[in-house]
């Protein structure tokens, strides 16, 4: 199956929404969840995911702590903060506006 690029400006939304569904996740779990939920259409590359998570840490949208995976590998686990939940609402609202406007432009009459 062909994978498409993640639309610009939606990576934060995808990460925030994925973390909202779980207590905490490490980076690989986040990327895997997005890919699975999109039915293998969206794939988040490590080169995009980890810098985005770092920016989200700085913004206070997520917290992180070191832990061990089920396979006993060291991993950083991310959890949504109250500010992150608020930002998720903002991101979802903006996305809905953009999708609605795009659909109006491309809609066949």
Q: What is the mean pLDDT of residues 20-32?
A: 95
Phi, psi dihedrals of residue 12, rounded to the nearest 5°: -55, -45
Q: pLDDT for 34-90, tens place per residue?
A: 999 999 999 999 999 999 999 999 999 999 999 998 889 999 999 999 999 999 999
Q: pLDDT for 41-54, tens place per residue?
A: 999 999 999 999 99
Alpha helix (H) residue ranges in 1-109: 11-20, 27-37, 46-59, 82-106
Write down the pLDDT at residue 9.
Answer: 82
Selected residue with higher pLDDT from 19 and 1: 19
């Amino acid at each position: 199956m062909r994978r498409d690029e993640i639309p610009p400006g939606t990576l934060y939304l995808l990460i925030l929404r994925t973390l909202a569904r779980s207590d905490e996740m490490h980076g690989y779990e986040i990327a895997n969840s997005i890919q699975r939920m999109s039915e293998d259409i969206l794939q988040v590359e490590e080169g995009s995911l980890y810098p985005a998570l770092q920016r989200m840490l700085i913004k206070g949208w997520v917290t992180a702590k070191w832990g061990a995976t089920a396979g006993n590998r060291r991993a950083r686990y991310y959890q949504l903060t109250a500010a992150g939940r608020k930002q998720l609402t903002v991101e979802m609202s903006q996305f809905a506006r953009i999708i609605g406007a795009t659909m109006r432009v491309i809609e066949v009459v």
